[in-house]
Chain A
Amino acid sequence: MLPSVGIRHFSRCAVRSARLKPLRFTDLNKINLNQPVVPTHKNFDVSPDHPLWAFFPNGNKATSCFRDSSEIDTSSRPWALPELRRKSFEDLHKLWYLILKERNILAREVRLAEAIRENNTQAHNELDEKLALTQKRIKQVLLERQVAYERAQLMTAEQEEYLRDFEERYVNAEESDIVSYNEKLIRLQYAFFGIEPQLDDFDMETDINVNFIEGLTYIANLKHKRYLKLHPQTEEVLSTPLDGVVEALPFLLNDTNEAIQELKSLRERGTETKLDKIDVIPFLKRTISQVIAERNGTEAV
């Protein structure tokens, strides 16, 4: 048994001195040539999550690199436009990439078939056409949505009318309806002004903008007016309309009653709450991040 130190290390001098085999061929004409050594993939392992497995129909469980036309799905149909219109953006996104992967597999198989002169790729091409049609329809649906969104942006007069109408309905709403109105308001503030329903979802860099300020003012005024409507006997301090984001922000962050208390204390202190235009967005960012941090901190405790 050889020691594990290594064969090279082991008694080379002894072997050299006792060599029986000469270091050259004695007669070239008597040499028996070896068969060519065919390379084999058994010499290395392929990672089961190698990204190129995505080009095979069953991933790393694939047993062959080419599917016959009998193995190709011929009975299916492309997705219809009405079906796709019902799907959310996330669903369409997932569907797009599933189709893309499937088309990649098919394209690889067709290319392989060209290389090995296997001409029976009719089924592959037909399936690929169906998938391509679905992709076109996904694009169509997204285009429709984009067009609808852009048109909605242009309908400012209608938007203003709707907002006025909603304000009136909200202020005059019955106590029993106010819960559903509040939910509606949350959807409205997201749809019209891009204000996220959850504070944590705010992206401080992009979400705090002019649109946000407009929405904030609208919501705060709405709630303030409703409060005045419900409590006609309010003090003089509270009854004047809101002025600026400093007074409006509590209505977005807190309950109406708490916001009213805050407003009251602000006005009683008599501090100047009107901000310069350039200070408005930094103030909002600072305050909202403080509030988020406080809430997360208290939740964590």
Chain B
Amino acid sequence: MPTMRMRAEKKMRKHLLEQLKSRKIFGARIAKGYKTPEQLMELNLAPQVFLFKNLFSGQVLYSQVPAFHQDQIDAQFPRPNWQNRKPSRRNDLWRIMCVADFASYDYAVAAYDGLVQLRYVRDVLKPKEAMAMRKKNEEGNIWYSGQYRPCFSQEAVADLAHVINEFELEGTALFWENVWRKGEDSHWRSDLVDHEVLPPFNPKYQSIMLDELREKSLAEFGRIREENAAQENGEPESAQVGTQAA
């Protein structure tokens, strides 16, 4: 015999289920939501942009923080189709490709915005142009091996160069997982960008490496800001060097 349920009881069960659903976290909490320069500073984050590549499909995810969230995936893959599927959130598939270290929080946020906008242009506003530049196989589809399409990460690198050159973000340092990916030097303006290599890391501890990188960048940023303040106050150069050494 089915158990009798009061109306209040049913309501409560429904309410509890909704609670459970709303509590579910789709990704890292810190990566949820857009970050303004002030928020980045408050959260003790460095002026960086992180580019994660998907090992399965070759797609690239941009993030302002050393983590990612489902909301970012939804925002950055606006028109999924069979060749450009919406990637999964599995954290074992997203491996860091490049960490871009900028000279200020304004630059970092501008670069992130620019990258997301360029992705939008490629996927929504000018999909035909973007498709024309991709390498095709003999059937006229994007070249692939299995599910992997290398063009997506190449486009991300091109967009990164585009943003840096367009906004003239001087004092940028790019930490590549593999310098192979940065392509010919002609794509980069040497007065704006320094290319470096990420420290060797175990993929299991990728987040720890990224956090260390964030701390290092933060310390560097603080040091430069102090120097600039000292310069503006008109202190002599030698005095600065002395205080640093001390």
Q: Which residues of A contact B (CB under 8 A)?
A: 2, 6-9, 12-13, 15-16, 19, 21-25, 28-29, 31, 33-44
Asked whether, in the complex, the Cβ of A33 is within 8 Å of the Cβ of B130, the reply is yes
Please name 8 further chain A to chain B contacts, defined as beta carbons within 8 Å, in addition to the given A8-B224, A36-B133, A44-B180, sorted by A numbering: A7-B170, A21-B167, A25-B166, A33-B121, A36-B157, A37-B182, A37-B184, A43-B179
* Bound Cα distance from A117 to B20, whole angstroms: 52
The interface-forming segment of B22-30, B74-82, B111-119 is: B111-119
Contacts of B134 in A (CB 8 A): 36
Pick the interface stretch among B4-12, B64-72, B83-91, B102-110.
B102-110
Contact call A12/B157, Cβ cutoff below 8 A: no
B227 within 8 A of A: yes
A269 to B166, CA, bound (A): 103
Out of B129, B167, B182, which one reaches A43, CB within 8 Å? B182
Main DSSP-derived SS at the B contact region: helix
Task: State whether B125 touches A29 (Cβ < 8 A).
Answer: yes
- Chain A residues with CB under 8 A of B121: 28, 31, 33
Q: Show 27 residue pairs from A and B whose CB-CB distance is below 8 angstroms, ordered by the A residue.
A: A2-B191, A8-B224, A12-B170, A12-B224, A13-B228, A21-B166, A23-B106, A23-B107, A24-B114, A24-B117, A24-B167, A28-B125, A31-B118, A33-B118, A33-B130, A36-B151, A36-B158, A37-B157, A37-B158, A37-B181, A39-B180, A39-B181, A39-B183, A41-B180, A42-B184, A43-B179, A44-B179
Whole-angstrom distance from the CB of A113 to the nearest CB of chain B? Answer: 16
User: How many angstroms between the C-alpha atoms of A72 and B216 in the bound complex?
Assistant: 54
Distance in angstroms between the alpha carbons of A33 and B121 in the assembled complex:
8
- Contact A40 B171, CB 8 Å, known A9-B224, A33-B126: no
CA gap between A15 and B171 in the complex, in Å: 11
Q: Give the shortest distance, in Å, between A276 (CB) and chain B (any CB).
A: 58
Q: Tell me which residues across on chain B come within 8 A of A25, comparing CB atoms.
A: 114, 117, 166
User: How distant is the Cα of A128 from the Cα of B192 in the complex, in angstroms?
Assistant: 54
Total A-B Cβ pairs within 8 A: 101
Q: Does B120 contact A (CB under 8 A)?
A: yes
Chain B stretch 114-142: residues in CB contact (< 8 A) with chain A:
114, 117-118, 120-122, 125-126, 129-130, 133-135
Say if the beta carbon of B15 comes within 8 Å of chain A: no
B61 CB, min distance to chain A CBs, angstroms = 17
Contacts of A37 in B (CB 8 A): 154, 157-158, 161, 181-184, 187
**Residue interface bits B145-184, CB-to-A below 8 A is 1, else 0:** 0000001001101110110001110110000001111111
- Tell me which residues across on chain A come within 8 A of B184, comparing CB atoms: 37-38, 40, 42
Instruction: Determine if B38 is an interface residue (Cβ-Cβ < 8 Å).
Output: no
Q: Which residues of A contact B151 (CB under 8 A)?
A: 36
B42 within 8 A of A: no
Residues from chain A with a CB closer than 8 A to the CB of B232 are: 13
On whether the beta carbons of A7 and B171 are closer than 8 Å, the reply is: yes
CB distance from B44 to the nearest CB of A (A): 20
Residue of B nearest to A15 (CB): B170
Q: Report B201-239 residues with CB < 8 Å from chain A CB.
A: 224, 227-228, 231-232
Docked Cα-Cα span, A47 to B182, in Å, equals: 20
- Complex: chain A residue closest to B169, CB-CB: A23
Q: Tell me the complex Cα distance, A25–B167, Å.
A: 8
Chain B residue at minimal CB-CB distance from A42: B184
Q: Nearest chain B CB to A23's CB is how many angstroms away?
A: 4
Which residues of B lie under 8 Å from residue A2 when comparing CB positions? 191
| Docked complex Cα distance between A284 and B161 (Å) | 77
Q: Which residue of B lies closest to A41 (CB)?
A: B180
What's the nearest-Cβ distance from chain A to residue B145, in Å?
9
3 tightest A-B contacts by CB? Answer: A8-B171, A36-B154, A37-B183
| Distance to closest chain B CB from A6 (angstroms) | 8
Residue of A nearest to B171 (CB): A8
Residues in A whose Cβ lies below 8 Å from that of B113: 24
| Also in contact, A9 and B170, with CB within 8 A (given A24-B110, A37-B161, A44-B180) | no
With a CB–CB cut-off of 8 A, which chain B residues contact A22? Answer: 167
How many angstroms from the CA of A32 to the CA of B121 in the assembled complex?
A: 10
List the B side residues contacting A24 at CB < 8 Å. Answer: 110, 113-114, 117, 167
**Roughly how many angstroms separate A44 CA and B228 CA in the complex, as a whole number?**
35
Inter-chain CA distance A21–B111, complex, in Å, is 13
When distances are taken between beta carbons in the complex, the residues of chain A under 8 Å from B129 are 33
Q: A33-B133, A37-B187 are in contact. Are A9 and B227 (CB under 8 A)?
A: yes
- Which residues of chain A come closer than 8 Å to B120, judged between CB atoms? 28
Question: Bound state CA distance, A18 and B3, in angstroms?
Answer: 75
Q: Are B154 and A39 in contact (CB under 8 A)?
A: yes
Inside 8 A of B182's CB, which chain A residues have their CB? 37, 39, 43
Choose among A23, A28, A44 the residue with the greatest number of B CB atoms under 10 Å from its CB: A23
In the assembled complex, the Cα of A41 lies from the Cα of B184 at a distance in Å of: 9
Between B135, B161, B162, the greatest number of chain A beta carbons within 10 A of the residue's beta carbon is seen for B162
